Chain A
Amino acid sequence: MTKRRGSPLAWGLLGVGMLYLLVPLLATFQFSTQIQAARGIPISFLAYNNVLSAPALAESFVFSLRTALITIAVSVLIVVPTAYWINLRMRFLRPVIEFLTLLPFVIPAVVLAFALIRSYNGTDLTNTRDGVYVLMVGAYVMLSFPYMYRSVDTGLQALNIRALTEAAQSLGAGWGTILFRVVVPNLLVSILNGAFITFSIVIGEYTIASLLSQPGFGPYMFSVASRKVYEPSALAMLSFGLTFFTILLIQRLSRGRNVGTAVR
């Protein structure tokens, strides 16, 4: 039986599914351009203009961007050596790690924020501005950790890390050299992969940022809704576009991975 290329049933089912996903996007776009409809201008990008020119947007976006970069840095610094070490020396810990990667799903953002504030209540972490920021970054690292770890782990598996390490050692390399000049360069794609996913998670995050009273992009977006009618949908389109662009980058990178550097 030869495969039916594009059976009508398949197209039909695809259509139904994609319809549900595309209609809100189209509607939002349409809505965002209606800002001057009352004045007789059917399509106007004034809403986008207003959104992008608001100083508060830049501030909050930069804040979230900075937070995202810090989160990525911390995440990479902790995950990469750990994943390397476990793959190399402590493979028996893999089930433990499997379990830990599921924890952020079991403790969702709202519960985590609540737990952090309550359990560190009375300490510097909750009493000072910087302290709460540390809590937020810590929470974000935990949220992104399953994706970062899985990405790096997959990359390590593909590399045959034991052989690389032994080769490097036989040539006289110490741990630092091995880590920074052998492992990391070969893991760049996996790290970037994890980094982009983390970025995507942190940039638009609302729950933790708002509950910890941080001036992030998520809370900013929310605040726009209370004051404006059309600007929120413009924001939604921009946010979707940003995520879309980020994910596309990830896909481009992953494809490059297959072509490149398999050190044998």
Chain B
Amino acid sequence: MAYLDLQNVEKHFTNFTAVQNFNLSVEKGEFVSFLGPSGCGKTTTLRMVAGFETPSAGEITLAGADITRLPANRRNIGMVFQSYALFPNMTVRDNIAFGMKIARKPADEIRRRVDEMLGIIHMQEFGHRFPHQLSGGQQQRVALARALAIQPQVLLLDEPLSALDAKIRLSLRQEIRQIQRKLGITTIYVTHDQEEALSISDRIVVMNKGRIEQVGTPLEIYNTPQTAFVASFVGTLNVLQSTVKDAAAGHVMVADQPVNVGKPIREPGGAAVAVAIRPEAFGLGEAGNGANHLRGTVEDMYFLGSVVRLRVDVSGYTISADVFNNQQLALPNRGEMVTLHFMPEACMVLPKTAEVTAGVE
């Protein structure tokens, strides 16, 4: 029995279904992200765990107890909101102490815990400030401390960093992960930013249109996406339309150039199949070991710091290829013909569902 269990959870509204067939087991101390575009149901699911929405069907169990219909104020679950939601009429200390005051804890215990929390978020001198005197990042840290002060069984975060500047987002998400590790609190983190989810989660739940597309570690999600949606939503992706030449041997034709996808293809010969390849799978020039080769003309080059992204026109398809920047790099010129090589294993054959948003930048 996992620590937090969602079984067959569904949520229907009057004219649409927000969540369906949601099954998930979360272990104690695990950091799980719900990742997906707006409207995919991730926030609704989170709110059902928090108790602000009641599931239309299904069960939610926490540490063995069924909390599906338990009122929100009795679940002992901490929540951090996108808009911080600090109480404007209370100081930082009072905000953090709120949950304990409700629980009628003795005054010195409250004081000790508040001091401890202020230390964890590194805001010891801010105790007597009011929310409107704090920056966005500071407010969010206080919100985190407030949620943790009640020692919840589960911590929920609803896109906590969306309202913040890019730089603060980076540092704060590391901080959140460190605090979570240190306290060992089971955490669910909702975000639409795949980089965020990939960098800090133990596992990611990719959602789309109310359903779970895939659950896995960041590595699994990125390297072995199981649906076209996951492949295109996470990371950038080149999608090439090809025709099957030899299904058993895994040979296809991309326009007039042959490609070996390295595994048998389910579609019959002559069928149209989408082949996806990550930009970093490409290299410049010829290579041995059974590598595939595609020839094309360089359309453009983007210097991204550690990586140089080439846009190459291959038989009418535009491919993004990422090559590492180094001293000996001999970059081709615009308009030059180049050869790109990539291993067959790097090819992902996408199922025929038309969910692919061609994720090429």
Q: Which residues of A contact B (CB under 8 A)?
A: 1-2
Contact = CB atoms under 8 A, between A and B. Distances in A.
Contacts, number: 5
Contacts of A2: 53-54
A1 to B, nearest CB: 6
B318 to A, nearest CB: 31
B72 interface: yes
B49 to A, nearest CB: 15
B324 interface: no
Q: Which 5 A-B pairs have the closest CB atoms?
A: A1-B72, A1-B52, A2-B54, A1-B71, A2-B53
Interface of B: 52-54, 71-72
Contacts of B54: 2
Contacts of B72: 1
Contacts of B53: 2
5 contacts: A1-B52, A1-B71, A1-B72, A2-B53, A2-B54
B82 to A, nearest CB: 19
A204 B283 CA distance: 82
A49 B53 CA distance: 59
B354 to A, nearest CB: 35
Nearest to B53: A2
Nearest to B52: A1
A1 B54 CA distance: 8
B130 to A, nearest CB: 22
Contacts of A1: 52, 71-72
A211 B231 CA distance: 80
A71 to B, nearest CB: 40
A2 B72 CA distance: 11
A158 to B, nearest CB: 22
Contacts of B52: 1
A2 B55 CA distance: 12
B69 to A, nearest CB: 12
A109 B226 CA distance: 75
Contacts of B71: 1
A227 to B, nearest CB: 57
A1 B71 CA distance: 7
A109 B332 CA distance: 81
A30 B359 CA distance: 70
B102 to A, nearest CB: 16
A198 B53 CA distance: 47
A3 to B, nearest CB: 11
B329 to A, nearest CB: 42
B75 to A, nearest CB: 12
Nearest to B73: A1
A2 B44 CA distance: 13
A2 B54 CA distance: 8
A2 B53 CA distance: 7
A2 B51 CA distance: 10
A1 B75 CA distance: 13
A2 B69 CA distance: 12
A151 to B, nearest CB: 28
A66 B89 CA distance: 50
A165 B284 CA distance: 52
A1 B53 CA distance: 7
B12 to A, nearest CB: 13
A2 to B, nearest CB: 7
A34 B54 CA distance: 57
A109 B53 CA distance: 53
Nearest to B51: A1
A162 B254 CA distance: 53
A2 B48 CA distance: 11
A2 B13 CA distance: 12
